[in-house]
Structure 1
Amino acid sequence: MSDPDLPAGVERREIAGETRLATRGDPVYGEPTADGWRAWDPERSKLGGMLELGFDTGLTGGETVLYLGAASGTTVSHVADFAGPTYAVEFAPRPARDLLDAAEPRDRLFPLLKDARKPETYAHVVEADVDAIVQDVATRGQATVAARNARFLADDGRLLLAVKARSEDATAEPGDVFEAALDELRESYDVLETRRLDRYHEDHLGVVATPR
């Protein structure tokens, strides 16, 4: 069932007895499927959680995406199902091997074994003026990573960021961590929307922003 608030290529489908977010493509992480559609589990995907919670992501389908922190491909494979060229940056070799498997049937998904903290190492590959940056990295300095990669984002593009409080400081109050990250982020971006993702991901903040 199409939903005007979702990107083209993302639908709510009846799968395994439940109405779920879904994209059309080969399964990647054991998710249930039906009629060529694969369920998008918001409890395993920060972006999936943001879509379920009604964030205005600006995604319409077919856009060029830079995905930072692709891991084994759980979320970025869904993105590549409905987006255009999707550059998937992952630093750790083990999940990157799984990411290659997810990319094999997806000719729009381009895995890059690179460090998202060092965008200069993949600047020669990623197209200028991408429509969206999706960031889900488990490291300190998540706002710094977003700022360093702002060079790739089109003037009217969107940053879709999940801030992980425990990756920044496991001892601090998550709210304090989020405020500090947003303060730094505002040096490079205009923040459009923030909301906690605790319904699906404890101590995470979803952020939508545009470049300054």
Structure 2
Amino acid sequence: MTGSLPAGVERQQFDGDERLATRGQSVYGEPTDGEWRAWDIRRSKLGAMLDRRMETGLTGGETVLYLGAAAGTTVSHVADFAGPTYAVEFAARPVRDLLTVADSRPNLFVLLKDARKPETYAHVVEPVDVIVQDVATRGQARVANTNRRFLKPNGRLLTVVKARSEDVTADPTDVFETFRSQLEGYEILDTERLDPLHDDHLAVVARPTR
């Protein structure tokens, strides 16, 4: 499958290299050129998915639920091209940085919550077009399953399965197969390993079936 970039994401030249970029305030020391900021795909699994032209279904302007936002490296780029973006992060320290990122992005809403407990933020999050899941925890399929409630019927789940977070001793291929078997209420549309940019990571695009 060959996907196009969403509106608001373009390939721009930075120091002679063509890189993905969005318009917005710099967050993590990335190169900038005028209003454009480079998207470091070595630090962003979603960036790597877009760079490899996976069919993410992103077109720009979507409402997004981002699970595992950390300090905002990737979700800042998402908020640059998306509509309302709910950023869920469990750890208090990165949330402080994330709040700074949100200062210049009025569409970015920071939630100090646990992605494994969506009932704690269900009263805040509206139905979304896209769930981006980037969590380093056991039970990554369970996180996707329990957050499906927020996804519109024609929405997309964009997740990256981190094999070492599930089981550091298991063969990553086995971990990925287990994830596929445990994903409930979704149809998987596309998968791709992100090596060597992100070792032992599998990118998955899925849509809800109910």
Query: Counterpart in 2 of 1:20?
Result: 19
Count residues in correspondence: 207
Query: Counterpart in 1 of 2:179?
Result: 181
Within-5 A mapping of 1:72-83: 72-83=71-82
Within-5 A mapping of 1:77-116: 77-116=76-115
How many angstroms does 1:17 deviate by? Answer: 2.0
Q: Is the aligned partner of 1:143 residue 2:157?
A: no
Q: Out of 183, 198, 201, which is 1:201 matched to?
A: 198
1:135-154 C-alpha deviation (Å, 9 max, x unpaired): 00000000000000000000
For residues 25 and 31 of structure 2, the distance between their equivalents in structure 1, rounded to whole angstroms, comes to 11
How many angstroms does 1:35 deviate by? Answer: 1.3
- Where has structure 1 moved over 4 Å in runs of 4 or more? none
Query: Counterpart in 2 of 1:53?
Result: 52
How many angstroms does 1:113 deviate by? Answer: 0.2
Query: Counterpart in 2 of 1:155?
Result: 153
Query: Counterpart in 1 of 2:189?
Result: 192
How many angstroms does 1:16 deviate by? Answer: 2.3
Letter in 1 for 2:164: R
For residues 15 and 112 of structure 1, the distance between their equivalents in structure 2, rounded to whole angstroms, comes to 33
For residues 21 and 29 of structure 1, the distance between their equivalents in structure 2, rounded to whole angstroms, comes to 15
More displaced 10-residue stretch of structure 1: 192-201 or 141-150? 192-201
For residues 27 and 132 of structure 1, the distance between their equivalents in structure 2, rounded to whole angstroms, comes to 24
Letter in 2 for 1:103: A
Question: TM-score w.r.t. structure 1 length?
Answer: 0.96
Query: Counterpart in 2 of 1:169?
Result: 167
For residues 109 and 55 of structure 1, the distance between their equivalents in structure 2, rounded to whole angstroms, comes to 25
Q: Structure 2: which 5+ runs fail to align?
A: none
Q: Structure 1: which 5+ runs fail to align?
A: none
For residues 16 and 7 of structure 1, the distance between their equivalents in structure 2, rounded to whole angstroms, comes to 24
How many angstroms does 1:199 deviate by? Answer: 2.8
Q: What is the identity percentage for the equivalent residue pairs of Structure 1 and Structure 2?
A: 71
1:88-141 C-alpha deviation (Å, 9 max, x unpaired): 00000011111111111000100100000000000011002x000000000000
RMSD (CA atoms): 0.8
Secondary structure of 2:145's counterpart equals helix
For residues 199 and 172 of structure 1, the distance between their equivalents in structure 2, rounded to whole angstroms, comes to 19
Letter in 2 for 1:104: D
For residues 193 and 13 of structure 2, the distance between their equivalents in structure 1, rounded to whole angstroms, comes to 27
Query: Counterpart in 2 of 1:70?
Result: 69
Letter in 1 for 2:200: D
Question: TM-score w.r.t. structure 2 length?
Answer: 0.97
Secondary structure of 1:49's counterpart equals helix
